[in-house]
Chains A and B, each alone.
Chain A
Amino acid sequence: MSENVRLIKFEHFRGLPANEFELRGRNLVILGTNGKGKSAVVDGIEFIFSGQVARFTGAGTGSISHNEAVKNVKTGGDPKVVLALSNAHGARGEVSRALSSESIEVTGPGAFRAYFDQHPSVDGFVLRRSKILDFVCDQDADRYQKFVQLLGITKVDSLQRAFVEAERQAKATNERATTTLQTKLAVFNDPVTDFTPQSLADVFAHVSVIVESFEFEKLEKWEDLEQRLPLLTAKRPNANRDKVDALTRALVSIETPLAARPDADVEQANELRGKITELAGSSSDSPRAKLIDRGKAYLSARPDETHCPLCEQEFDKPLEDLLARLKSRSDALIELRAATSSRHAAIARIKRYADDLSAQLEKDLEHSKLLGNEDKKRLRDARAAALRFSRLIARAIGGSFTGDISLPDRLLPVVETRSSLVESLKAQKTALTPPDTTKLEATITLVERGIASWKDISETEQTVGNSSEILRRTTIAKDSFSSAREAAIQAVFTHISGTVIDYYKRLHDFGEGPESSECTALELKPTSRAAAGGLRLAIQFLGLADSKDPRAFLSEGHLDSLGLCLFLAAVRIFNPPGSLLVLDDVLTSIDKEHRRRVGVLLYSEFQDHQIILTTHDEHWNDLLSTSARAWGLQDRWRYIKLEGWNVETGPVLSVVESSWTFIDENLTEPNYRNLGGPFRLVIEDFMKRCAAEIELKVKFKTDGKYTAGDFVTVGIQDKIRDKLIRLDGENETVIRSDVGNVFGQGDLINILSHDNPGRLEITFDQAKDFIDGLRSLTRRCEDHSLIR
């Protein structure tokens, strides 16, 4: 972004009835005591970027009406905020928002719209005093969500959810197959011998032992049963042999368990049908899914695009609206795809149930000669219902039936019917079987059952094996993805925490030993909650082994500065260069020296952002101003002081021109001789701050009014020179030259030691050398912590 804010205008907004704050493209410090309108300026920035002021909305705002709160109490007009922008090419325009309008208005080049669009959400670039601790005290889940939003990694979490869902589905499939296998094996349970088979191999071993007890050859394979069966039936008494045989076959069929009712699948299919109907509008987009994704990617990468790349027509809506619509269509398609896929799977399982049921009932009906008319009718009705149901489900799969699915009522009594039939057939068989042939008949039944079901059970075992393998692979995929996600996210958060601890140390490290930062390491660690995610913040205190929640160790002031570092690290890492950084009175609990360091951090790390600061602290305001000079950044900052406020005009502004500003603007041949006063102020400020840091022994003054002479008399110049050379020997020549330019002009120092130095009787070059040397020395002392 090469755009910057020239001016912020307010109309009828809060305590700003008709006010302007001129930035001229620079950073801005707004200084004012409480109640002068500082926070209203920040409210206005929040309003223009989000359409609301968050502190007047949501939980805890009680009876506050947002719209009333943003109105000016006196004028009663439509609140409006305007950002006047310019860019590096000199183009000008405005972004404005009125309360009565639903959207912003943009004039000027398209890039001004992009400037607005590319800003993150307000929480990402505006920090208020009341929010500073949120970064430290957030719940892990909230902190995670905050950073996930900043990172834009929602895709990673949706992938994680898909892997978890895949494993869940694979597990459900495996469990269904296992239950089916167990049901099929259960017909071989023998309570007499306490036999409960776990596999087809168990059944085979059991059948083999029993068949061999009739002194037949050992069974080698299932097919051998076909040969053993006639040998066994030959042992029956002749009487009723055929009848008993028919009853045995009928029992084997009717005792075969039916598939479990697919009630859950029916419920799921119907629920998903409702969801798919809701997304019906999106289904027409399906063929265009790839085009939508490509469109999203194309336009996201071209914020200045004004025409469609396909038809070359000019967009009739702002790019932001088009992107939002494409995203919405893409999200809906993804949801539709997932719902359709799940419904197809559920319907396929219902179809399999209907087909298996009708096939089994057909087998049952092969023994209809043994059944009563009523039972026969019930089984036929049930089979007909199963066939009709199967055809209906086939239509649902084909798409010609889109209604709700329900299991036919006629299928409901079939289990009871078959159960009573089994009892009836068993009773008939018992009546026809002599007591001494009970074991033989039981064995014949077992063999018949084996012949009838071993292939089916073998296939079911295969299905269980396959589904177990798929479940194993899906679990590996999910676990691999989880660990990859954790490692990849950790790498990002390690980078972020490195920046945070760097900033924190720059605010708190005063050297080695007891004055170094008590916070020796900082950790942002994603917690291993499968799909939801959390982010734990912990610090290492004084090098202790365990990292803990910073609230366990740090003072209120240090927690504030840690919160500030977390926020600034996020701004530095995530926000585009050129975007705004707004800090609303965030340093109230931070002491003077730390405040100065915050200023240095802003100068060194955020030169490519436009900063707006509000403060009631004159000292920090002066520090910022002085340090900006030392960094040579004086032309990038403006200082506005709110002198007062009244209901008619809002804040009473005065643009603060500091001594340094005055010097810069008047260090010219015609004017420089009038700079005695400002020269005195800047040299005294420099010497006082250095004297405090290097603990210079100066004669104590009860009134605290020290002059330049007080410091020079005790040799401040020698101490600063020697310390700097010791710390920065490579630049000894420059250091000696700077010290000479500043302190080597005895007459000048003498003049500057007076309260009113009067006209400077030195040459223009001497004055310039003095100021250049002082600026260079201040910067050097900043770098080596020789200045407070």
Chain B
Amino acid sequence: MNNPTQEEAESTAPPRDLRAELLQDLSSQFSAALESDGSLPVAAQNALVELLDSEAPTAAQIISAASKSDPEEEEAPDE
């Protein structure tokens, strides 16, 4: 617009992609919150964080992800 000069074009910082920043921040904040709770199996934490990448996870997918157990827990003999 308005044919800015080369110097001006270079000096204008590109607009921040706030949406991408927000989604990235959301993912890391979510992961940190799950980890800090400390009571969810790692497999469930990972599955839940992965869900954020999908277009629109359903409630059933969230429940399924939250239900996952770590392999060692599954293999542990019942006492």
Measured between alpha carbons, how far is A156 from B55 in the docked complex, in Å? 10
Given A342-B60, A481-B30, 17 further pairs, Cβ under 8 A: A25-B1, A25-B3, A151-B18, A151-B22, A155-B55, A338-B59, A470-B63, A473-B66, A477-B48, A484-B26, A485-B29, A492-B18, A492-B22, A495-B18, A573-B18, A607-B2, A610-B2
Q: Which 6 A-B pairs have the closest CB atoms?
A: A484-B29, A480-B33, A166-B62, A484-B30, A166-B59, A165-B59
The answer, yes or no, to whether A347 is at the interface (CB within 8 Å) is no
The answer, yes or no, to whether A403 is at the interface (CB within 8 Å) is no
Least CB distance, B66 to chain A, in whole angstroms: 4
| Cβ–Cβ < 8 Å partners of B21 in chain A | 491-492
Instruction: Jot down 26 A-B pairs with beta carbons below 8 A, ordered by A.
Output: A2-B1, A26-B2, A152-B19, A153-B22, A162-B58, A162-B59, A165-B59, A334-B55, A341-B61, A342-B60, A472-B39, A474-B62, A474-B63, A477-B34, A481-B33, A487-B25, A488-B29, A492-B18, A492-B21, A495-B16, A572-B15, A573-B16, A577-B15, A607-B4, A608-B12, A636-B2
Residues 144-183 of chain A, each 1 if its beta carbon lies under 8 Å from chain B, else 0: 0000000111011011001101101110000000000000
Residues of A within 8 A of B (CB): 1-4, 25-27, 88, 151-153, 155-156, 158-159, 162-163, 165-166, 168-170, 293, 330, 334, 337-338, 341-342, 345, 470, 472-474, 476-477, 479-481, 483-485, 487-489, 491-492, 495, 572-574, 576-579, 607-610, 636
Please tell me which one of the listed residues A169, A483, A577, A579 contacts residue B60 in the complex, with CB atoms under 8 A apart.
A169
Please tell me which one of the listed residues B16, B33, B44, B60 contacts residue A473 in the complex, with CB atoms under 8 A apart.
B44
Please tell me which one of the listed residues A151, A162, A473 contacts residue B19 in the complex, with CB atoms under 8 A apart.
A151
Least CB distance, A461 to chain B, in whole angstroms: 15
Q: Is the CB of B2 within 8 A of A4?
A: yes
B-side binding surface: helix, strand, loop or mixed? helix
Q: Is the CB of A487 within 8 A of B22?
A: no
Measured between alpha carbons, how far is A1 from B69 in the docked complex, in Å? 50
Residues 25-60 of chain B, each 1 if its beta carbon lies under 8 Å from chain A, else 0: 110011011100101100010001000100111111
Q: Is the CB of A607 within 8 A of B56?
A: no
Indicate whether A477 sits within 8 Å of B1 (C-beta atoms), given known contacts A162-B59, A492-B22. Answer: no
Indicate whether A156 sits within 8 Å of B4 (C-beta atoms), given known contacts A169-B60, A480-B33, A495-B18. Answer: no
| Cβ–Cβ < 8 Å partners of B61 in chain A | 341
Q: Is the CB of B3 within 8 A of A470?
A: no
Measured between alpha carbons, how far is A610 from B1 in the docked complex, in Å? 6
| Cβ–Cβ < 8 Å partners of B79 in chain A | none
| Tally of B interface residues using CB under 8 Å | 38
Measured between alpha carbons, how far is A485 from B23 in the docked complex, in Å? 9
Measured between alpha carbons, how far is A25 from B65 in the docked complex, in Å? 55
Residues of B within 8 A of A (CB): 1-4, 8, 12, 15-16, 18-19, 21-23, 25-26, 29-30, 32-34, 37, 39-40, 44, 48, 52, 55-63, 65-67
Measured between alpha carbons, how far is A474 from B60 in the docked complex, in Å? 11
Measured between alpha carbons, how far is A151 from B66 in the docked complex, in Å? 29
Least CB distance, A636 to chain B, in whole angstroms: 5
Measured between alpha carbons, how far is A610 from B4 in the docked complex, in Å? 11
Measured between alpha carbons, how far is A576 from B55 in the docked complex, in Å? 25
Least CB distance, B45 to chain A, in whole angstroms: 9
| Cβ–Cβ < 8 Å partners of B55 in chain A | 155, 293, 330, 334
Q: Is the CB of A489 within 8 A of B33?
A: no
A-side binding surface: helix, strand, loop or mixed? helix
Interface core residue of B32, B34, B40, B66 (most chain A CB under 10 Å): B66
Q: Is the CB of A577 within 8 A of B1?
A: yes
Interface core residue of B44, B48, B61 (most chain A CB under 10 Å): B48
Measured between alpha carbons, how far is A165 from B57 in the docked complex, in Å? 11
Q: Is the CB of B67 within 8 A of A156?
A: no
Q: Is the CB of A609 within 8 A of B29?
A: no
Q: Is the CB of A480 within 8 A of B62?
A: no
| Cβ–Cβ < 8 Å partners of A576 in chain B | 15
Please tell me which one of the listed residues A155, A470, A488 contacts residue B25 in the complex, with CB atoms under 8 A apart.
A488
Interface core residue of B19, B21, B55 (most chain A CB under 10 Å): B55
| Cβ–Cβ < 8 Å partners of B4 in chain A | 607-608
Q: Is the CB of B29 within 8 A of A483?
A: yes
Least CB distance, B27 to chain A, in whole angstroms: 8
Q: Is the CB of B60 within 8 A of A345?
A: yes
Please tell me which one of the listed residues A169, A487, A609 contacts residue B59 in the complex, with CB atoms under 8 A apart.
A169
Least CB distance, B69 to chain A, in whole angstroms: 10
| Cβ–Cβ < 8 Å partners of A168 in chain B | 59
| Cβ–Cβ < 8 Å partners of B37 in chain A | 476, 480
| Cβ–Cβ < 8 Å partners of A1 in chain B | 1
Measured between alpha carbons, how far is A578 from B62 in the docked complex, in Å? 42
Least CB distance, A520 to chain B, in whole angstroms: 25
Least CB distance, B30 to chain A, in whole angstroms: 4
Measured between alpha carbons, how far is A470 from B59 in the docked complex, in Å? 13
Least CB distance, A487 to chain B, in whole angstroms: 5
| Cβ–Cβ < 8 Å partners of A88 in chain B | 3
Q: Specify the chain A residue showing the minimal Cβ separation from B67.
A: A470
Measured between alpha carbons, how far is A487 from B21 in the docked complex, in Å? 12
Measured between alpha carbons, how far is A489 from B3 in the docked complex, in Å? 35
Please tell me which one of the listed residues B8, B22, B32, B58 contacts residue A491 in the complex, with CB atoms under 8 A apart.
B22
Q: Is the CB of B67 within 8 A of A473?
A: yes
| Cβ–Cβ < 8 Å partners of B2 in chain A | 4, 25-27, 607-608, 610, 636
Q: Specify the chain A residue showing the minimal Cβ separation from B32.
A: A484
Least CB distance, B77 to chain A, in whole angstroms: 17
| Cβ–Cβ < 8 Å partners of B44 in chain A | 473
Q: Is the CB of A476 within 8 A of B40?
A: yes
Q: Specify the chain B residue showing the minimal Cβ separation from A27.
A: B2
Least CB distance, A300 to chain B, in whole angstroms: 12
Measured between alpha carbons, how far is A579 from B1 in the docked complex, in Å? 8
Measured between alpha carbons, how far is A224 from B8 in the docked complex, in Å? 90
Q: Is the CB of B66 within 8 A of A162?
A: no
Q: Is the CB of B8 within 8 A of A607?
A: yes
Measured between alpha carbons, how far is A334 from B33 in the docked complex, in Å? 27
